[in-house]
Amino acid sequence: MSSFAPAVNRLSDIYGADENAQALRYARLVVTFKATYGSQPEFIARAPGRVNIIGEHIDYCGFPVFPMAIAPDTLVAARANGSDRIRVSNMDGTKYPPRDFSVAEMFEIDSTKHEWSNYFKCGYRGVLDHVSRQGDKGFDALIDGQVPAGGGLSSSAAFVCATQLAVQRIEGLSLTQAELASAAAQAERHVGVNAGGMDQAVSIMGQQDSALFIEFHPALKATPVRLPEADLPFAFVIANTLVVSNKHTTAPTNYNLRVVETRVGALMLAKHLGIAEHVVCASAHPLTFKVVMDEYFAKPNVGDINDDGVQGWVERLETMLRETEKAFGTHPHGYTRDEMAAALSITATDLSAKIHEDQFPVRADRFKILQRAQHAFSEALRVVKFRGICEQAPENAGLRLGDLMNQSQDSCRDLFECSCPELDEICKIARQAGSFGSRLTGAGWGGCSVHLVPANKVDDVKKALAEQYYAVCFPDLSAEQLSEALFAT
């Protein structure tokens, strides 16, 4: 059973050794709130960003992922104001000017406009849509975000989730963590991003000192997994390329296009396997690679597969990789819309409706179904193996985990095509300086990278990146800006 979001009274319960620095930040938030609205906030809601250690672009395929929450977070200080107005301000008021809405206006979200308060509205609407009611309480809110926007650490999910936590407190609701995570993933689609659910789940359900093995099908489930202890401990270094990838503006050619390619791939693979008309596949909205895999192995005479643990996953996923080659190998350069429609025995218009292109428009001449499917199944395989190594804790765990991360980066670059030259360069520098494994994290096309580094090499890796990447590409970066872009966790 999913638990409720915890409430704490001490910053040390959240930030540990960073308590003092955070205390100053919270104090500034409270002072600014009082100066803005005339009274102190009743409470402060918090949701962290996340780093996805491994499992990129497969949450919306239905496959498990392996992220962990990080210290950078979004805060929402809030107080009911006894009116029917909802006022929201930001600590960075120059970049994000204050807004004032009626309760009814909070449900009006124009996804064609890149407006910061749309994410606040998403959080508000997500909670109330989930309980099928209209809000009736006005309140004041002040936002402070430390997760870099467009950096691949899920700033949008942290914003939406923190807002949801504030709204449910104001409205007197008690949603479980799983309900909040699901509502947040649905809500972010109002700004035109076809979210898979990973970012929201780890922001709401993350735990200290553990990563999460998050499963999405048949139901959302988050299992804490501790990283293996070793004689030589290791840490994760986060390095931001400072190349901003805005999912809202690039979605038609990047993020949403990849979602569509995997969704059409699932439809075509189900037909290839002879299960498209099965009730499970025909009624799935959307049909994902995970649903197709599960239904295929539910068929009689498919072969005996071990259902238990890692080995069962491995056998299934390796089988699906072979079937993927059979299904799509004749089109290594991709499919046109007409070719995809013909393969599914439907019209191009029906295909557009099936992938909800009215909500999530995409632009492409050819859709690379083979490569996207190969990435999805092989990345899921790496996630499962990663968890297995963590739980078994072999002597060479760091090297083996790092190798999986390196394979993931290769797949993201070559098969899913969501890397960029800056990410490739950072990964190269980090590996040469001692990283076991380096890969992009988040949607890609810029943003952040994550590196599994032996504790005694952390300073070496950071120094190499500072000198060979940041000093070269961003010579005017201040020491404070560098510390925000490059840090260990």
**Residue-wise pLDDT tens digits, 308-319:** 578 899 999 999
* pLDDT value at residue 242: 95
Q: What tokens does 145 get?
A: 């975000």
Q: β-pairing, 85-90 with 139-145?
A: parallel
Q: How confident is the model at residue 1 (pLDDT cuts 50, 70, 90)?
A: very low
Question: Is the predicted pLDDT of residue 474 greater than 80, yes or no?
Answer: yes
Q: Are 230 and 399 in contact (CB under 8 A)?
A: no
Other C-beta atoms within 10 Å of 339: how many?
15
304 is catalytic: no
Amino acid sitting at position 210:
S
Q: What span, in angstroms and rounded, lies between the C-alpha atoms of 141 and 255? A: 30
Q: What is the mean pLDDT of residues 260-281?
A: 97
* pLDDT value at residue 302: 59
- DSSP H helix total and E strand total for the chain: 19, 11
Query: 């590409």: which residue's tokens?
Result: 473
Amino acid sitting at position 315:
E
CA dihedral in degrees (288, 294, 300, 302; nearest 10)? 90
Q: What is the mean pLDDT of residues 202-206?
A: 93
Dihedral sign computed on CA atoms, order 65, 362, 447, 412: positive
Residue 398: half-sphere exposure toward Cβ, Cα within 13 Å = 17
Task: Please give the C-alpha separations between residue 392 and each of 157, 318, 380, 400, in angstroms, as whole numbers.
Answer: 32, 21, 19, 12
Top-confidence range, 52-66, 104-118, 236-250: 52-66
* pLDDT value at residue 247: 65
Q: Is the pTM value of this prediction over 0.85?
A: yes
The active-site residue out of 199, 338, 410, 414 is 199
Q: How confident is the model at residue 358 (pLDDT cuts 50, 70, 90)?
A: confident
Of 161, 129, 127, 128, give the one whose Cα is nearest residue 143.
161
- 216 or 419: which carries more pLDDT confidence? 419
Q: What is the mean pLDDT of residues 249-267?
A: 91
DSSP state of 470: I
Give 62-89 pLDDT, tens digit per residue: 999 999 999 899 999 999 999 999 999 9
- 473 or 252: which carries more pLDDT confidence? 473
Q: Are 29 and 77 in contact (CB under 8 A)?
A: yes
Q: What span, in angstroms and rounded, lies between the C-alpha atoms of 47 and 42? A: 17
Average pLDDT, the chain: 92
Question: Is the predicted pLDDT of residue 124 greater than 50, yes or no?
Answer: yes
| Residue partners of 63: CB distance under 8 A and separation at least 6 | 55, 216, 289, 290, 376, 379, 380, 383
Q: What tokens does 68 get?
A: 């962990």
* pLDDT value at residue 307: 56
* pLDDT value at residue 477: 96
Question: Is the predicted pLDDT of residue 306 greater than 70, yes or no?
Answer: no
- 302 or 137: which carries more pLDDT confidence? 137
* 262 sits in which H/E element: helix 255-272
Other C-beta atoms within 10 Å of 257: how many?
21
Of 58, 15, 56, 14, give the one whose Cα is nearest residue 447.
56
Dihedral sign computed on CA atoms, order 15, 207, 412, 284: negative
Question: Is the predicted pLDDT of residue 212 greater than 80, yes or no?
Answer: yes
Q: What is the mean pLDDT of residues 405-414?
A: 98
* Positions of E strands within 259-353: none
- Cα 489 to chain centroid distance, Å, stands at 18
- In degrees and rounded to multiples of 5, residue 328 shows phi and psi of -120, 0
Of 171, 84, 162, give the one whose Cα is nearest residue 130.
171
Q: What is the mean pLDDT of residues 6-13?
A: 92
* pLDDT value at residue 248: 65
